């Protein structure tokens, strides 16, 4: 899954992400932009949240967990390594940390906390720290170029840039670049729930995912062999990948809907233009205001 220089410019759901009961589960990290609402609990390698993010369940992080100020977690926070909890954050259950704990002022933990390492009480999560967390995620999945672009944007605002020819800390040799599962990225101001995933940005869903909720975005690219228990709606283009099943309608105001071979839409399709593979299936009505074509070849276009 390619990422650009702004890691929060779209909803990005990596391969294999599932909704299990009330938890959103992914193999990689979870990155949530500020002022978002995630009504699920989340489970991933690491969890990073901006300011004023609300979680409706537990947080389980195999590695680090970083919550910026004014976050609200309805359940427990279980952390396999270190935790960084910003000031005025509320945790409705227990905070259990296997490593060190940095905790800000006026943090409310209803059922107490325990840390096996050092405990430091302060405000550990300024905006600059959150920015560098983004860079670490980019480097972990091998996006050195995107990380360098983001670092250059930050350094251009500082006093004095790096001298020409001096090696930057963000420079990583391609052969030694770390790799790992792509992060689940939820952009700033998003709302994610069992009813609907609402973002004002484009949205990308990888392969082999199981998603509960209607997807609402500027545009939608849904990969292969997914099960989406809800409808798709976008202002722009919508792509439904091979073998994916949509348990609802597919609707776009002005864009093109492209449906791959083996895909199935258990609802209506409404769009400007439609490209439908002859091995795809639509159980409901089809309304295309512009051109409608039945195709035998399909190439998925990924930004």
Q: Are strands 95-97 and 113-115 parallel, antiparallel or unpaired?
A: parallel
N- to C-terminal Cα separation, the chain:
9
pLDDT of residue 163: 43
Q: 90: buried, middle or exposed (CB in 10 Å: 19+, 13-18, 0-12)?
A: middle
Q: What is the rounded average pLDDT of the residues 82-102? A: 96
Q: For 151-177, how does the pLDDT look when each residue is reduced to its tens digit (9 = 90+)?
A: 665 555 444 444 444 444 444 444 444
Q: What is the sign, positive or negative, of the torsion defined by CA atoms of 108, 190, 147, 241?
A: positive
DSSP, collapsed to helix, strand or coil, labels residue 21 as: coil
Q: 16: buried, middle or exposed (CB in 10 Å: 19+, 13-18, 0-12)?
A: middle
pTM of this prediction? 0.80
Q: What is the rounded average pLDDT of the residues 103-120? A: 93
Give the domain ranges of the chain. 10-154+174-190, 202-295
Q: For 178-195, how does the pLDDT look when each residue is reduced to its tens digit (9 = 90+)?
A: 467 899 999 999 999 999
295 falls in which pLDDT band (50, 70, 90)?
A: confident
Q: Is 214's pLDDT higher than 70?
A: yes
Q: For 223-247, how does the pLDDT look when each residue is reduced to its tens digit (9 = 90+)?
A: 999 999 999 999 999 999 999 999 9
Q: For 195-209, how does the pLDDT look when each residue is reduced to its tens digit (9 = 90+)?
A: 999 999 999 999 999
Q: What is the rounded average pLDDT of the residues 72-77? A: 98
Q: For 2-34, how does the pLDDT look when each residue is reduced to its tens digit (9 = 90+)?
A: 334 455 789 999 999 999 888 999 999 999 999
Q: What is the rounded average pLDDT of the residues 33-37? A: 96
pLDDT of residue 1: 38
Q: What is the rounded average pLDDT of the residues 213-217? A: 97
Q: For 40-70, how does the pLDDT look when each residue is reduced to its tens digit (9 = 90+)?
A: 999 999 999 999 999 999 999 999 999 999 9
Q: What percent of the chain has pLDDT over 90?
A: 71
How high does pLDDT run on average in the chain? 86
pLDDT of residue 180: 78
């Amino acid at each position: 899954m390619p990422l650009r220089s702004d890691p929060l410019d779209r909803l990005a759901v990596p391969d294999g992400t599932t909704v299990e009961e009330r938890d959103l589960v992914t193999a990689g990290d979870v990155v949530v932009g500020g002022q978002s609402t995630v009504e699920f609990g989340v489970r991933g390698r690491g969890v990073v949240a901006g300011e004023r993010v609300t979680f409706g369940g537990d947080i389980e992080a195999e590695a680090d967990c970083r919550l910026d100020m004014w976050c609200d977690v309805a359940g427990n926070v279980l952390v396999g390594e270190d935790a960084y909890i910003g000031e005025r954050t509320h945790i409705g259950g227990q905070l259990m940390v296997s490593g060190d704990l940095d905790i800000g002022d006026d943090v409310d933990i209803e059922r107490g906390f325990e840390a096996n390492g050092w405990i430091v009480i302060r405000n550990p999560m300024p905006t600059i720290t959150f920015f560098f967390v983004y860079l670490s995620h980019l480097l972990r999945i091998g996006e050195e170029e995107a990380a360098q672009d983001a670092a250059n944007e930050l350094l251009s605002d500082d006093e004095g840039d790096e001298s020409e020819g001096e090696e930057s800390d963000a420079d990583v040799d391609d052969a030694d670049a770390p790799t790992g599962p792509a992060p689940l990225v939820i952009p700033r101001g998003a709302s994610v729930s069992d009813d609907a995933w609402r973002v004002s940005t484009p949205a990308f869903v990888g392969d082999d995912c199981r998603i509960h909720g209607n997807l609402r975005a500027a545009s939608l690219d849904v990969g292969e062999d997914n099960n989406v228990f809800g409808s798709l709606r976008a202002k722009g283009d919508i792509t439904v990948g091979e073998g994916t099943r949509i348990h609802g309608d597919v609707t776009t105001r002005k864009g093109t809907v492209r449906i791959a071979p083996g895909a199935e839409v258990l609802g209506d399709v409404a769009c400007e233009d439609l490209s439908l593979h002859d091995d795809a299936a639509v159980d409901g009505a089809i309304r295309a205001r512009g051109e409608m074509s039945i195709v035998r070849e399909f190439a998925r276009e990924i930004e």
